[in-house]
Amino acid sequence: GENVEQHPSTLSVQEGDSAVIKCTYSDSASNYFPWYKQELGKRPQLIIDIRSNVGEKKDQRIAVTLNKTAKHFSLHITETQPEDSAVYFCAARGYSNTGNQFYFGTGTSLTVIP
Amino acid sequence: KAGVTQTPRYLIKTRGQQVTLSCSPISGHRSVSWYQQTPGQGLQFLFEYFSETQRNKGNFPGRFSGRQFSNSRSEMNVSTLELGDSALYLCASRATGGLYTDTQYFGPGTRLTVL
């Protein structure tokens, strides 16, 4: 099955700086890569996603890039704000011997320092 | 539309007991997936149900089981609880049968503590 690795596990940035979180995956058949934000005590919320036929996608201050050859994808947050502080998870929809499922990274705890 | 709901939100059990968790998906969503979330392990996929059938299963022991009803509501059962089963259990629903039906919407989770 798929294996998703996420780095770094913790990240601290000054307000206004950029934050980058990187994920790698192992299965070249994976074709959908969402990113979730989970604030303390709350449910994971989808913030952006990308499909394998696209190299980059932006939504205001958030962007995701995908390199299929290298099997990695990254989340970029610009002009960070204190409310961006949360745990971020990447995921890949991959294939196991029982069908397709989502494989998650272990999360990055982002702290934005005012 | 109302979001994904889960009940109960908190549970405390002792080793050896069993527990049943419930998930109601977004109206019209027929796929429900369950995940176990623990610190350092992220989200681990348990299983997915679609139209009352389990279509996918993660790498968990047989003590973890589930089912889905005709109204798409799903239950997850854990028998013979172990201390290591303490976790946040999340369910997620998604639409099926059209374009871009990949997006999963998560419920608030059930926090299970095993003593």
Q: How confident is the model at residue B100 (pLDDT cuts 50, 70, 90)?
A: low
Using a CB-CB distance cutoff of 8 angstroms, which residues of chain A are in contact with residue B45?
Answer: 101-104
Give the B window 74-113 contacts with A, CB below 8 Å: 90, 102-109
Min Cα–Cα distance to chain A from B53, Å: 13
Per DSSP bridges, beta strands A62-67 and A72-77 are: antiparallel
pLDDT at B5 over 70: yes
In terms of CA atoms, which chain B residue is nearest residue A3? B44
Chain CA centroid to CA B73, Å: 10
User: How much of chain A exceeds pLDDT 70, in percent?
Assistant: 96
| Out of A31-35, A79-83, A93-97, least confident range | A93-97
The predicted pLDDT at position B96 comes to 74
The predicted pLDDT at position A87 comes to 96
Rounded to whole angstroms, the Cα distance separating A45 from A42 reads 9
Give the CA count within 13 Å in the CB-facing half-sphere of B12.
1
